[in-house]
Chain A
């Protein structure tokens, strides 16, 4: 307890001393619109139909206050999933390039009435974003998916053949006692298990199911027979271990080994004078992040690359952020590697930023047009070490050097952050950003 308190205090002290902002998120944001607004909304609305989308937009973008830009608003809409297409899981997992684009396409909208200008005055701002992603299939993945699907089919058909037979015995009054019920069901159990399992393990499985049936079914068949099918279902599912297969499969599809590509784009629209005439688009961002999830013995490793392009409207920033230095074009190139080893995870990332602005000068004596440019290069690197003390407590330390925040003139770039997290999840880039 004493140690915990010390760490919390230490964490708070360091966070206060090295207040951070603008740490680059390596991955393409889940909501590009919220990201470009630097908005961390309390709720993200995810309408599942065009009608729900219409209702959401109508109820949020109209109001009695006269302000049509809602505050703290974030919406994420995936048009492909609006329609019931009867798409099977197998076809979803084997979707081609074009299908994946539409299946993973999301459109995001975010807005705030509190977008701070250079003089700290709040203004209305709205952002629109688009994002999609791809998983690049590979032969091993096809084999693994086939293996899981085949396992579902074999196990599930075995369970259903036994349980429907059990239900049929009960419903059609083919037994009058527990022993008659088990005797009637046994040939089906034997047939199904022998058909689908190796002879070496089949007899063991059959014995286990029948023994469990004798142990768990109540003696009083006439009054308890309506529970018999449920108990048989539980026994067979547990003996065949179908739940473990589903859990392994879900873990697998969450991080399928292979190449991924995420792309996102967002544009920001600001109303600095709180009227439509002042509408301007100060900033656009594009994210392209390829990543690779290693397989088999190296599946604890993931590598991620990033290309981010940001374009700033200099006229806007000169007028509303007169004291800041903003570059017109900013290109970030980076690489991140992360690894998880039981209770320990390590992540290291490095990003290089190239910024430049080209301005049009007065023509020379011969009328030739001339440009002058300013350039800047920055680096960011960050190492993070997480240690899971137990299921609910995570100790995390980050050390590195971030980009300077040119917009708000913050040249303090050191990151040294120790956190002790209680509850679910560990520190994220967002939690660091919000400090």
Chain B
């Protein structure tokens, strides 16, 4: 099992009617990723590799902490890529950068615990 990186107490103020989009963006090369955003309800948005998904309106995200889980994997030889670096964004703004040395872990799991307080 790979090393887990947990980023807690993240905050992103949003308006009640504001649409919230979550983005995964690769920075380093050779990454493979699956990301799930646990939102209220049974259907959690999923992102394969990179991309952006609508995760809900501000007022629907306010009542609980949103948990994002991301499995990253980088099997490239170290001489080609020695780092895993991924940006997590909400509405285009970086909420968390993740970076780790592949010597430490080439298959990390990243969790983001995000609050969406009123703007």
Contacts and interface: CB of A to CB of B under 8 A. Distances in A.
A88 B44 contact: no
A191 interface: yes
A30 B74 CA distance: 22
A190 to B, nearest CB: 11
Contacts of B31: 88-89
B118 to A, nearest CB: 18
Interface of A: 46, 48, 76, 78, 81, 84-90, 92, 103, 149, 152-153, 156-157, 159-161, 163-165, 167-168, 171-172, 191, 230, 233-234, 237-238, 243, 246, 249-250, 253
Contact of B30 (A92, A165, A250): A92
Interface stretch (B13-21, B52-60, B61-69, B89-97): B61-69
A152 B32 contact: yes
Contact of B4 (A48, A85, A88, A233): A233
Interface string B68-93: 11110111100111100100000000
Given A172-B64, A233-B4, A84 B82 contact: no
Contacts of B64: 168, 171-172
Contact of A84 (B1, B27, B35, B42): B27
B93 to A, nearest CB: 18
B100 interface: no
B29 A87 contact: yes
A108 to B, nearest CB: 12
A110 B63 CA distance: 62
A249 B79 CA distance: 19
A165 B67 CA distance: 8
Given A164-B111, A233-B109, A84 B67 contact: no
Interface of B: 1, 4, 25-32, 34-38, 42, 44, 46, 48-50, 64-65, 67-71, 73-76, 79-82, 85, 107, 109, 111, 113
Contacts of B107: 246
Contacts of A152: 32, 34, 73
B114 to A, nearest CB: 10
A48 B46 contact: no
Contact of A85 (B29, B44, B71, B111): B29
A168 B36 CA distance: 12
A45 B85 CA distance: 23
A88 B50 contact: yes
Contacts of B49: 88, 90
Most interface-central of A76, A161, A243 (chain B CB within 10 A): A161
B1 A160 contact: no
A86 to B, nearest CB: 4
Contacts of A84: 27-29, 85
A398 B102 CA distance: 38
A81 B76 CA distance: 11
A89 B69 contact: no
B36 A164 contact: yes
A164 B64 CA distance: 13
A246 B73 contact: yes
Nearest to A165: B38
A163 B68 CA distance: 10
Instruction: List 10 A-B pairs, minimum CB-CB distance, nearest first.
Output: A164-B38, A156-B34, A86-B26, A89-B32, A160-B36, A164-B69, A87-B29, A160-B69, A172-B64, A156-B71
Contact of A157 (B36, B75, B81): B36
Contacts of A168: 38, 64-65, 67
A237 B4 CA distance: 13
A250 B77 CA distance: 11
B65 A172 contact: yes
A404 B30 CA distance: 45
Contacts of A156: 34, 71
Contacts of B70: 160
Contacts of B35: 160
A80 B28 CA distance: 12
B65 A89 contact: no
A160 B81 contact: no
B48 A153 contact: yes
Given A160-B69, A167-B111, A171-B67, A89 B30 contact: yes
B83 to A, nearest CB: 9
Contacts of A161: 36, 38, 44, 46
Nearest to B42: A191
B32 A88 contact: yes
Given A160-B34, A160-B70, A171-B67, 18 more contacts: A81-B80, A84-B28, A84-B85, A88-B26, A88-B49, A89-B75, A89-B76, A90-B32, A90-B49, A160-B36, A163-B69, A164-B36, A164-B68, A167-B113, A168-B64, A191-B42, A233-B1, A238-B1
Contacts of B113: 167, 171
